[in-house]
Amino acid sequence: MVNYSVIGTSWITRSFIEGASLHEGLSFDGVYSRSPEKGRAFAQETGAKRVFTNFTELLESDTDLVYVASPNVCHFEQCKALLLNNKHVICEKPITITLEEYKELCQLADSKGLVYFEAIMYMHSPARQPLKDAVNKIGRIQSANIDFSQLSSKYPALMRGENPNIFNPEMKTGALNDLGIYCVYPVVDIFGVPEEIIPCQHRLFTGADGSGSAIFKYDDKIITITYSKVGQSRGVSQIMGDLGTIAIGSISQTDNIYLYDNKGAATELVPDIDKKYHMGNEALSALRFIEAMESHKEHYRECRAVNEMVLACMEKMRVENA
């Protein structure tokens, strides 16, 4: 039995706990919150056995695995401390802000025989392979449009002149880190790192990026990525070949995927899937990596390798817009 604790009391932490409950072998241990009141309320709602209100208490506890869903700015230091204290770690995206930080923590985890990887739905979804298989069925691909634009629930506060965490650059947040990363993942996993990235971002009055785009240039194709937290898309992402088109309803969840031939006939590849199953897949990967790494080491290596490519691309997207 793997006992796990969580850092954070947001909706995404609740989703992870709900997903983890689908799998025997994972037992919800505790929650870390700097607010005793929030921690106790969260524990009562979710069934946590204990509440940590001091980070040192969590570090010194006997919990095996920690799911980190704190603000982005905390990820590196918290994950490093957890690894140094012999905890397996699954961290929300972005796992670190820089590639250098990521490599440092990967080396640390490996040196201690610990599991450390990013909680990104795409890499743990059963839909990943059917999507990659479908790409090989649509002929020569010269273009694709990948979009994740979702109006933030914090947008009204922003319009009132406030500075919510998600739009506060000091928290290392913004549209690229929060949404754009979901677009970068399938692109580099399927097509690799591009020869050139041409980025563009729109900055809000807070200094954070509210929306952005990037052209990923390959020698034989151009892929356009768009993302926004200040507007709501009603379209789909598309990968277009000369023999057909793949339409992806949700690029973040990798579902609602259809394959169209050139006459418009559609074949459903992946249906709509409840989010708890997507989060549950991340939790299941953690369990497998901890208890049966030898059987799942190839997947673990893929997660690490793709994560590294994604961070490298995102650094280029940021530097050009600094």
Whether the full predicted model's pTM is greater than 0.85, yes or no, is yes
Residue in 126, 129, 105, 125 with CA at minimum distance from that of residue 115: 105
pLDDT in tens, 261-282: 999 999 999 999 998 899 999 9
Q: Which pLDDT belongs to residue 75?
A: 98
Q: Which pLDDT belongs to residue 319?
A: 63
Q: In this model, does residue 23 exceed pLDDT 80?
A: yes
What ranges do the domains of the chain cover?
2-120, 128-272+311-319
The fold adopted by the segment(s) 2-120 is: Rossmann fold (3.40.50)
Band of pLDDT at residue 321, cut at 50, 70 and 90 = low
- To the nearest whole percent, how much of the chain has pLDDT over 70? 99
Q: Which CATH architecture has domain 128-272+311-319?
A: 2-Layer Sandwich (3.30)
Q: Which residue has the tokens 């059987």?
A: 295
Q: Which pLDDT belongs to residue 7?
A: 97
Measured between alpha carbons, how far is residue 219 from residues 22, 191, 244 in Å? 44, 11, 21
Is the fold of 2-120 the same as that of 128-272+311-319?
Answer: no
pLDDT in tens, 25-66: 999 999 999 899 999 999 999 999 999 999 999 999 999 999
User: Number of helices (H) and strands (E), helices first, in the chain?
Assistant: 11, 14
Task: List b or e across 34-54, with b for residues whose CB sees 16 or more CB atoms inside 10 angstroms.
Answer: eeeeebeebbeebebeebbbe
**Average pLDDT value for the chain:** 96
pLDDT in tens, 190-235: 999 999 999 999 999 999 999 999 999 999 999 999 999 999 999 9
Q: Which pLDDT belongs to residue 275?
A: 86
